[in-house]
Structure 1
Amino acid sequence: MNRLNTVAAHVAPTLTITDNRSGKKIDVKVKDGTIRATDLKQLGIQTYDPGYMNTTCCVSRISFIDGNRGVLRYRGYPIEQLAQDGSFTEVAFLLQYGELPTRGQLTQWEQDLMRHSMLHQDVATLTSAFRYDAHPMGMFVSAMAALGTLHPETNPALTSQNIYKDKAVRNKEIARILGSATTLAAMAYRHRMGRPFNTPNSDLGYTENFLYMLDVSHEGTSYRPHPKLVKALDVLFVLHAEHELNCSTSAMRHLTSSNVDVYTACAAAAGALYGPRHGGANEAVLRMLERIGSIENVPTFVEKVKQRKELLMGFGHRVYKHYDPRATIVRKIAEDVFEICGREPLIEVAMELERIALSDPYFKDRKLYPNVDFYSGLIYKAMGFPTDMFPILFTVPRLAGWLAHWSEWIDDPENRIYRPFQVYKGYDKRDYVQVDERSEKVHSKELTVKRSAFNRRRDASLQSAAADRSEYEWIKD
């Protein structure tokens, strides 16, 4: 490096901002492509960024995304290598601790996870109390939050606010939650299907045990899920384990900043993922493909999308402006699943839709490429999972990413409780008016409550009875 470059390397780049209202100029430092938002206080302004479209809130070392090149790495490792050669438990370890485990570390780690897969009977009782048709995600979120009540000794609100600073405590909570996740998910599934809960099988691996708890019946502990299906689901778990600061991961960090217990934080993150804009995307893809119906209908559907009469689900991404690398992997493993479970007819519709869209300038110019949700729902459907289980199959592996961010936030010297600002556009100061002196300013239509058919039937009966009483009183008078 020559002297000029050496000097330049040590001079922090700056950005000069001129306030045209006052003529005031400030120089702010630029680091890693960002400026400190607090530097703008010198001008008495804040940034306005709905949806955090251009906001950086932390420094992280967990995952890296290059949306323009279609690159995803966990702790520096390309997702393609981890999906092909690794396992979910290896990846979960990598996300937590920054390095791949040795053989001995992996064995111990997997034993720790399995040890925590056996849950307190109260969790089974709670899950059994839900209606037969309760959504599995609702049961999972509730059960995850309930786990925290079984471990008050590690709740910052009940013990020490600094309890999570102890990494030994953190390690136990991480293993406990990851170990519990598959059992919670299996309980939700079995309850939804009207079947008794199964006990975890400690002789099996993480993903294999999950499928075992879902499916084992009269065969007992000799039952073994098909190895190719185990591998397919394990790869899907790897692909869904972490993805930077998406909605649910941001929620995890937000909750963590309040120093709430980790179970409540995970339940809140799962609640965010439950939303159809996030964890329900692959289900939306499936509904779209079912609506298209056949290959012959694809061109017409594509034209409707271009006319903004239909939505193209499973294409495009907030970050990726190129083909989602996870989608490429999912498409490959789909064939392995179809070979065993039967070819899902909608795959032909999906492939034709992808072919037409990727050859159409309308979609190419808008950088709309298939994302991971485009094919994953077809695999889950082929494996026999009901669509309401799709968000749980996303949540279980994503817990590994959430917990990595939880731990990273705790160690961050710049951690602060999250508290964004707002631009207030409401009333100026108003004086209180006594209730009998107020005029009606809220229209009755704005207070309308949607009533069920049951309540409408009751309302009609009560009104009829009131009318009868009124008529009787008139006659009596």
Structure 2
Amino acid sequence: MSDTSMDFIESLCGEYRRNNHIDPEYYERWGVKRGLRNADGTGVLAGVTQIGNVLGYYVQDGERYPMDGQLIYQGIDVRELIDGFMTEGRFGFEETAYLLLLGRLPTREQLDQFRQMISDHQALPPMFTEDVILRVPSPDVMNKLSRSILSLYSYDPNPDDLSLSNQLRQSVELIARVPVIVAHAFAAKRHYYNDESLYLHRPQPGLGLAENFLYSVRHDNRYTQQEARLLDLCLVLHAEHGGGNNSAFSCRVLSSSGTDIYSAISASVGALKGPRHGGANKKVMEMFGYLKEGVNDWKDDDEIAAFLARILRREAGDGSGLIYGMGHAIYTLSDPRAVLLKRFARELAETKGMMDQFQLLESVERLTPQVLRSVRGEKKVVCANVDLYSGLVYQMMGIPMELYTPLFAAARVAGWCAHRIEEVTSPANRIIRPAYKAVAPLRPFVPLAQRV
């Protein structure tokens, strides 16, 4: 864009600021639920779901009280789900996807058939990679994933049918194909933006989604069983988080309009990309980089706390004033996903010789609450969320940072599809349309010659 055009853009920015100020007092006057949150921090009730539940506090006599967090998939505590398949030595993501979509755990025969169906649909449509991914590559994998999901509409012989059978068919195909799209989009990004050789690997029959992902993104196709099982665990932990989270709610909002599944899931990817949502795991590792450079002694609590205080005061880090990976809208005493992931992250750190980095993150988790109290007078109970440790786990597995949030999407597509189906088959069956209070005063039209 020319200098003249940029000068005009700057003048338009000034024009916008002069004419579009909203008084913060309006939110209080009209009782606006900012962020669709009530004044006490609870969420505005917008629907009913069986798919997932997130518990982080209990309410007694109108007061909120902290509690250890629980994450529940279709009535089953995720800790029991994970203990169940890990004790039996199985990968669990496909089983979890079945549970989320169908509402019950599969029998052995059903699980075998479901896994086979996913395996059969992992291959992308003919020339899809060449025409959709390689022809217009993107420096951001999430951007490419969103556009690619939209493009799948053109390859679907029956994209707009809202029948249950069609929705389930499309859901299985999306769960199977999204990891492959991510792998190919990342390969294109490395080739066209990082001047690396182009490696495109086809999914291998007989491998689970976690194994196939590691096989696909690595030049030599090599991975260990420990890595595959840990990635499978990450996929399970990221698969669902209730209907009120930003990306699932986005999916439900679009689905309530009657639009196709590709439009709804693509919107969810766009929502997840944001650093206040799924993009936070990448921001944790960026913050971790600032921390490692800015703190000389990683075992000195005072030095670490001082640096965290500088982050809160916007004097260090990315200038946002946020300690990424800490705090959650619902969880108070603990995030069960972070608790589980931390346990396995410790084991992997010992194996990889990275305990010093793991312990530095532990210090962030331990010190942040007191730093928040001293710098901001924060009284709310704050715990580590899943993003604090997921980025380090991916780093220890050699997964590039550009794939952190796309991996989140590859897992969450199972939950999104479950919410999509529940929304379009819901007995409520109404378009989601909240209200906004209009505050602009009425004014007359001014003829062009009289405007100043």
Partner of 2:451: 439
C-alpha deviation, 1:192, in angstroms: 2.1
Give the TM-score of the pair, scaled to structure 1: 0.75
Which range moved further: 345-354 or 87-96? 345-354
Q: Please state how far the C-alpha of 1:108 moved relative to its aligned partner.
A: 0.4
Q: Any unmatched runs of 5+ in structure 1? A: 1-44, 156-162, 218-222, 441-477
User: CA offset at residue 369 of structure 1?
Assistant: 0.8
Corresponding residue number in structure 1 for 2:433: 419
Query: Which of the two has higher C-alpha Rg?
Result: 1
CA contact (8 A) 2:325 2:387 kept: yes
Alignment partner of 2:386 out of 368, 372, 379: 372
1:78 is aligned to 77
Match of 1:199 in 2: 202
Candidates 303, 328, 340, aligned match of 1:329:
340
Distance 1:212 1:419 in 2: 43
Alpha-carbon spacing, 1:305–1:190, altered in 2? closer, same or farther (3 Å)? closer
Offset, 1:404: 0.6
Counterpart of 2:128 in structure 1 is 123
For residues 132-281 of structure 1, what are the structure 2 equivalents within 5 Å? 134-155=139-160, 163-164=161-162, 166-194=163-191, 195-217=198-220, 225-244=223-242, 245-281=244-280
Aligned Cα RMSD in Å?
2.2
Distance 1:423 1:104 in 2: 54
Choose the corresponding residue for 2:96, options 91, 100, 107: 91
The code of the aligned residue for 2:331 comes to Y
Q: 1:52 aligns with which of 36, 39, 57?
A: 36
Contact 1:342 1:382 (8 Å CA) reproduced: no
- Report the AA paired with residue 227 of structure 1: Q
Residue pair 1:299, 1:356 contacting (<8 A) in 2 also: yes
Give 1:344 shift: 6.7
3-state SS in 2 of match to 1:153: coil
**Secondary structure of the structure 2 residue equivalent to 1:61:** coil
CA distance in 2, matches of 1:185, 1:305: 32
Return the offset for 1:439.
2.7
* In 2, Cα distance between equivalents of 1:303 and 1:397: 34
1:346-375 per-position Cα deviation (integer Å, ceiling 9, x unaligned): 323211222223566828832111000111
Partner SS state of residue 53, structure 2: strand
Question: In 2, are the aligned partners of 1:344 and 1:382 still within 8 Å (CA)?
Answer: no
Give, in whole Å, the separation in 2 of the partners of 1:376 and 1:192.
23
Residues 327 and 383, structure 2, Cα contact 8 Å, conserved in 1: yes
Identity %, equivalent residues: 30
TM-score by length of 2: 0.79
Residues 321 and 367 in structure 1, CA contact (< 8 A), matched pair in contact too: yes
**Higher-RCO chain (CA-CA 8 Å, sequence separation at least 6):** 2
Give the Cα–Cα distance (whole angstroms) in 1 for the partners of residues 222 and 154 of structure 2: 34
Residues 149, 265 of structure 2: 8 Å contact kept: yes
Given that residues 232 and 337 in structure 1 are in contact (C-alpha distance below 8 angstroms), is that contact kept between their aligned partners in structure 2? no
Matched, 1:106 2:103: no
- Per-residue CA deviations over 1:173-204 (Å, capped at 9, x if unaligned) read 11111111111111112222222311110121
Structure 2 gap segments, 5+ residues each: 1-28, 39-43, 58-66, 86-91, 192-197, 316-320
In 2, distance between residues paired with 1:260 and 1:367? 40
Q: Quote the offset at 1:115 in angstroms.
A: 0.9
Secondary structure class of the residue paired with 1:385: coil
Taking structure 1 as reference, are residues 361 and 276 closer, same or farther at Cα in structure 2, changes over 3 Å only? Answer: closer
Q: In the alignment, is the contact (CA less than 8 A) between 2:251 and 2:420 conserved in 1?
A: yes
Which runs of structure 2 are paired with 1:261-340 in the superposition (5 Å)? 261-293=260-292, 294=295, 295=298, 296=300, 297-304=303-310, 310-340=321-351
Question: d(CA) in 1 for partners of 2:327 and 2:240?
Answer: 18
Counterpart residue type for residue 241 of structure 2: H
Alignment of 1:373-392 (within 5 A): 373-392=387-406
Counterpart amino acid of residue 284 in structure 2:
V
Distance change >3 Å, CA 145–CA 342, structure 1 → 2: farther
SS at match of 2:203: coil
Distance apart, 1:341 and its partner CA: 4.5
User: Could you tell me how far 1:301 is from its partner in structure 2?
Assistant: 1.7
